[in-house]
Structure 1
Amino acid sequence: MDAPVIERRATAGITASGRVLSGYAAVYGVDTKIGGFTERIAPGAFKETLASGRDVLALADHDQRAVLGRTKTGTLTLHEDGHGLAFTLALPDTQAGRDVAALAQRGDLGGMSFGFVATDEVWRGDTRELRAVELHEVSVVQAWPAYEQTTVSVRNRPPQVGIFNGRELLWLDTCD
């Protein structure tokens, strides 16, 4: 059986304060240029993967030799909200984990990325909408992300969730 061709998309925005990364690995409804076409992610695109219990890895720069966490062990948690695919990642005490934490604290990371296989997509002209994807991994990237709206921050405390004006909000503590 051939391995699936996994596509990768990256996003930006990292700040630091601790050993737990939090933020968004993907955001919904944002157009981004990928080579010669435009792509956007539809709300719910990750629903099937998350419901399946698939083991999704957290990697450094899509490098399978630099595992930072995984869903099956609980060191990576993922959930969808109205903004996109949110994640929390407890960094390991490995060289890769220490490097990511140090770069995040300095503000030197490029953002987040995700590796996937599209299972439901719609093309309208040169615009591709991802309606469902089989998620394989999320990655902390050191360079430039494709989706600049994603965020990552290093945290000491878990995110705080609340309702404001009828909208669910997620507060993250960060430091300068």
Structure 2
Amino acid sequence: MSEKVIRYLPVKIEVRSAEGEGDGKTQTIGGYVVKFNQRSQLIWGEFYERVAAGAFSRSLQENVIKAFWNHRSDFVLGSTKPGTLRLLEDDVGLSFEIDLPNNTWGNDAFESVQRGDVDGVSFGFYVRSDAWQYLKEEDVYERTLLDVNLFEVSPTPFPAYEDSEVSQRSIDQLGITSKEQRKIEKEKLLLEIDLLALG
């Protein structure tokens, strides 16, 4: 329940540049981190995922959230604390705007997004609450993220979902090879989750 998770979504990132105070120039990128109730790609060949409306509400009220360049905490692009990163839940999803720093990685980020080389956003979070549903007709599970502890967003060039090393290692250690074995193991895990929720 407390494992760090990272998700990637290809999105349309917009860029704009404006003259600021003095000789400074503000370069801003923005778009959607994620759109609500849209099904993800199949994760690990095992399940789909959706983010419910309101899943970020608590984080937006309680957390200082950072924007990193490709998840690198040494390349900070913005933060909600000084307002250089702005996040907003609307009817569509979680939108973002980042006023990029006037330094090498801020300028490089702006250029890469403007050229279209970087066209995705990842977000890092911990799951507080989720719901699982088995879709019999597709023989697959669908997970809905109801409440997540969001701690970072990152413009990133990588065109696939990523999960933390801990999560991937956990799946690998199950030693499941066949679809039937995966199905049995998933049912066991979901039963354990249900039992924990009751306790």
Aligned alpha-carbon RMSD (Å): 1.6
Cα 1:5/1:95, change in 2 over 3 Å: farther
SS in 1 for 2:91: coil
Q: What residue identity is the alignment partner of 2:39?
A: D
Normalising by structure 2, what TM-score?
0.68
**Contact 1:113-1:145 within 8 A present in 2 as well:** no
**Contact 2:113-2:119 within 8 A present in 1 as well:** no
Q: CA deviation at 1:5?
A: 2.7
| Partner residue, 1:101 | 110
Q: What residue identity is the alignment partner of 2:33?
A: A
| Count of matched residue positions in the alignment of Structure 1 and Structure 2 | 143
Normalising by structure 1, what TM-score?
0.76
Cα 1:111/1:145, change in 2 over 3 Å: farther
Runs of 4+ in 1 over 6 A off after TM superposition: none
**Contact 2:14-2:31 within 8 A present in 1 as well:** no
**Contact 2:13-2:30 within 8 A present in 1 as well:** no
- In structure 1, stretches of 5+ residues that fail to align are 147-176
Is 1:42 the counterpart of 2:52? The answer is yes
Q: CA deviation at 1:145?
A: 4.9
Distance 1:101 1:64 in 2: 17
**Contact 1:16-1:107 within 8 A present in 2 as well:** no
Q: Per chain length, whose mean CA-contact separation is higher, i.e. which structure has more relative contact order (CA < 8 Å, sep 6+)?
A: 1
Q: CA deviation at 1:140?
A: 0.5
- Quote the sequence identity (%): 35
Structure having the higher helix fraction is 2
Q: CA deviation at 1:38?
A: 0.5
Distance 1:15 1:65 in 2: 24
Q: What residue identity is the alignment partner of 1:82?
A: D
- In structure 2, stretches of 5+ residues that fail to align are 18-26, 135-140, 162-199
| Partner residue, 1:134 | 149
Structure having the higher strand fraction is 1
Q: CA deviation at 1:15?
A: 4.2
CA deviation profile, 1:41-66 (whole Å, cap 9, x unmatched) = 000000111122x1100011111111
Q: What residue identity is the alignment partner of 2:113?
A: A
SS in 1 for 2:159: coil
Higher CA-based Rg: 2
